Chains A and B, each alone.
Chain A
Amino acid sequence: MKSSGFRVNNAELWGGAIWFAVSLFVLEQGRRLGLGTVNAPGMGFMMFWLGIVMAGLSLGVAAQSIRSEGPSIRALWAGTRWVKTLIVIVAFVLYAYAFTQLGFLLSTIPLMLVLLRAIDPVRWVIALPLAFGAPLLIWWVLERVLQIQLPTGVFEIG
C-alpha cells in the first residue's frame, strides 16, 4: 500500500484538488462581494483572504500526498460494506424528498422499515412494531404536546 510519487488514484491528492477548487470558489465569491477598503472592509474581505489561505493549505495537502504515501481511493473502500452505506444514504435522500410530499408519518414509517430490514435485518416481530410505534409516538409528542407542526403531505395525514 505504501508507495511514493505521483499516482492518479491517490485519494489524498484528490482531496487536495477538491479543496483547491473550493478555495478558488471562495476566493472568487469574496472578490465578487467586494473587498472594500481597510478602514471599511467589505462583505468579501474576509472570504477573499480565507480563500487565499485555503488555496495555500490545499496545495500543501496535495504536495504532501505526492511526497509521501497516500491510500488509493479503492483502498479506502476495500473490505467495507459500502453498498449498505449507499443504501442508507439513498434511502435518506429519498426520505427527505418524500417528507414534504407524503407527510411525516407516511414517509418515516417506510424509512424505518428499510433501515431495519435492509442493512442487518431485524426480525419482523421487532421491526414492525418499532417502525410503526416510534414514528407514531414522536408524531404524537411533537404535534400534540409540543405543538410543533409536522408536514402533512398531499394526503393530509399526520
Chain B
Amino acid sequence: MDLAAQVANGFAVALTPINLLYCFIGVFIGTLVGVLPGIGPISAMSLLLPVTLSGTPESGIIMMAGIYYGSMYGGSTTSILVNIPGEATSVVTCLDGHQMAKQGRAGPALGMAAFASFIAGTASVVGLMVIAPYLARFAVAFGPAEMFSLMILGLVIVTFLTQGSMLKSLLMASAGVVLGLIGLDSITAQPRLTFGRIELYDGIGLVPVVMGLFGVAEVLTNIEQGIKRTVSTTKISNLLPSSEDWQRSRGPIRRGTALGFFLGIIPGGGAVIAAFASYALEKRISKTPEQFGKGAIEGVAGPEAANNAAAGGAFIPLLTLGIPPNVVMALLLGAFVIHNIQPGPLLMVQRPDLFWGVITSMYIGNVMLLVLNLPLIGMWVQLLRLPYNILFPMILLFTVIGVFASSNNIFDLYVMIAFGIIGYLTRKLGYEAAPLVLAFVLGAIMENKLRTALIISAGDLTTFVTKPISAICLGIAAIMLLMPLIPFLRRKREQVAIEDGQN
C-alpha cells in the first residue's frame, strides 16, 4: 500500500462520526486543562484512561491524543493573560506574550499563538506521516552523553533570553539545576537536600515553582506599582493579528516548527528546549532584538509553533518503537496497552487502520482547535477588562487551586509562596525567572545523564567530544558562550535604557 492510500484509509477511520466526536471531546478537554493551571494533560489523561476502555481503541486513543495537543494550545492562554505558564513549554510565551497583553495587544498575541500552533501542529502531522519511520533511529541515537550535551546547549541558549546581565542569568540557571537535584537521587535512591522532609523526597514540584515565580511574583510586583488595567482596555479593539504581525511571524513559525519537530523526538526535555531554542534563535537573527521581552510578536509565534510541533514529533518514538519520550506519551502508551495493543515497530503493519486513523485525526483535531479557540479569544480578552483589584485575588485563588489540585499536597502551597517571594525579590534585582525554570526542568535529567555517561564510558571524559552528536551540541554551545562577550558593553547600555523606560 502506498502512502496516499494509507492516508485515505486513515481519514476514513478518523472521519466516522463517533471518532469525530471523541476527537472533539479530546481537544475540548485539552484546551480546558491547558487553560487551567495545575490540572495539566497528565492528570486529565490519567483520569480519563478508564473511559477509553468502553469504546474502540481508535476512539480512545484519538481522544487521548486530542487532550495532549489540545493542552498545548490552551497552555499559552494563561501565559499571555496573567503571566502564569500552564506548562514548562509555555514559560517562554510569558516573556513577550504577557508584555503584549499589558500593551493591550492580548488579542493578537492569543490569535498568533493559535495560528502558530495550528500551522506547526498540522505541519508536524505531515512530517509524522512522511518521515516517521526514518526518524525512529534518531530518537534512540541520543544516549546519555548526547542528552547531556544537548541540555548544556539548552542552558547556554538561556543566556540569550535575558534582558539584563548574563552573569545573573547563569546564576539563576545554576540555582535551577540545584533545585532540580532536590529529592531522592536517581542513582543511589538516597535523599539529597531534603532536610528530613518526606515531601521533598520526590523533589520540588514544577507547578508550585512556576506558579510562584511567575503568577504570584507578577501579582506582588503589580500591586506594588499600583497597576490599573483601564489603560489597556481602550486599545483592545482588534482581536486578530494584523498583516504586519503576520509579516513578522512567518519566519519564526517556519523555523519554530522545524526546530520543535526534531527536538520533540528526543526523550527528556526536548519540547521544552525547543520552545526556548526557538525564542533564542529569533532574538538572535532579529533586526530588532531589543524589542524581545517587550512585546515582540515573534517571541510568541516562534515558541508556540515549536511546542506544538514538538507534540507531533513526540509521537514518533512511541508509534515506531513503543518508547514514550515523555510522561504524556507514557500515558498514551497505557491507553494502547489497555486495549491489548502494543505500540511499536509492528503497529504500522498489524494495525494500519489504527495507526493512520490516529495520525489523520490529529489533522482534523488541529482544525477543530483553531475553530474552537478563535472565538474564545474575545472572551479571554474581556477578562482583562476586569479592574486589577478584582482580578488579582482571583489570580491568587487560581494559583492556590492549581497547586493544590496538581499534587493534593499542602506542602506545595508553602513552596509556591516561597517561590513567589523569591521571584518578587529577584525580579527587583534584575534576575529573570525563565532560566531558572528551564534549568529546574532539566537539572535532574542532566545530572543523571552526566553520571550515566561517565559510568558507561568508564570515566572517560572525552566521550562528550568523540560522539558526533554530542560534539556538535557542545560546539554550538561554546560558540554561543563566546559570542556575547562582544556585545557585552552594548548590553549594559540596554539595561540602563530599560530602567529609564520603566520610570
A interface residues, Cβ below 8 angstroms from B = 11-12, 15, 19, 22-23, 26, 29, 33, 37-41, 43, 45-47, 50, 53-54, 57-58, 60-61, 64, 68, 76, 80-82, 84-85, 88-89, 92-93, 96, 99-100, 108, 111-112, 115-116, 119-122, 126, 130, 134-135, 138, 142, 146, 148-151
Contacts and interface: CB of A to CB of B under 8 A. Distances in A.
9 contacts: A39-B458, A46-B181, A46-B451, A61-B165, A92-B396, A122-B387, A142-B401, A146-B39, A148-B404
A120 B389 contact: yes
A112 B393 CA distance: 6
Interface stretch (B184-192, B373-381, B464-472): B184-192
Q: Secondary structure at chain B's binding surface: helix, strand, loop or mixed? A: helix
A151 B178 contact: no
Contacts of A126: 390
B175 interface: yes
Q: Which of B220, B393, B401 has the most CB of A within 10 A?
A: B393
B225 interface: yes
A99 B404 CA distance: 11
Nearest to B174: A54
Given A53-B174, A134-B394, A120 B388 contact: yes
Contacts of B17: none
B390 A122 contact: yes
Q: Which of B177, B178, B187 has the most CB of A within 10 A?
A: B178
A15 B428 CA distance: 10
B408 A88 contact: no
B390 A112 contact: no
Nearest to B178: A26
B21 to A, nearest CB: 22
A50 B223 contact: no
B420 A92 contact: yes
B192 A43 contact: yes
In the A-B complex, list the 4 residue pairs whose CB atoms are closest, starting with the nearest: A39-B459, A120-B389, A115-B393, A38-B459
A117 B116 CA distance: 41
Contacts of A119: 223, 389, 392
A60 B451 contact: no
B175 A15 contact: no
Given A39-B460, A85-B220, 18 more contacts: A22-B175, A38-B454, A39-B454, A39-B455, A40-B455, A50-B174, A53-B170, A76-B428, A84-B226, A88-B223, A92-B420, A96-B417, A115-B392, A116-B389, A120-B387, A142-B405, A148-B404, A149-B408
Q: Secondary structure at chain A's binding surface: helix, strand, loop or mixed? A: helix
Given A11-B429, A151-B410, A47 B397 contact: no
Nearest to A116: B393
Contacts of A135: 397
B445 to A, nearest CB: 12
Interface string B166-180: 011011001101100
Contacts of A138: 397, 401
Contacts of B387: 120, 122
B171 A57 contact: yes
B213 interface: no
A19 B171 contact: yes
A46 B450 contact: yes
Nearest to B424: A85
Contacts of A29: 192-193
A93 B187 CA distance: 36
B219 interface: yes
Contacts of A54: 171, 174-175
Interface string B440-463: 000000110011001101111100
B23 interface: no
B164 to A, nearest CB: 11
A76 B216 CA distance: 19
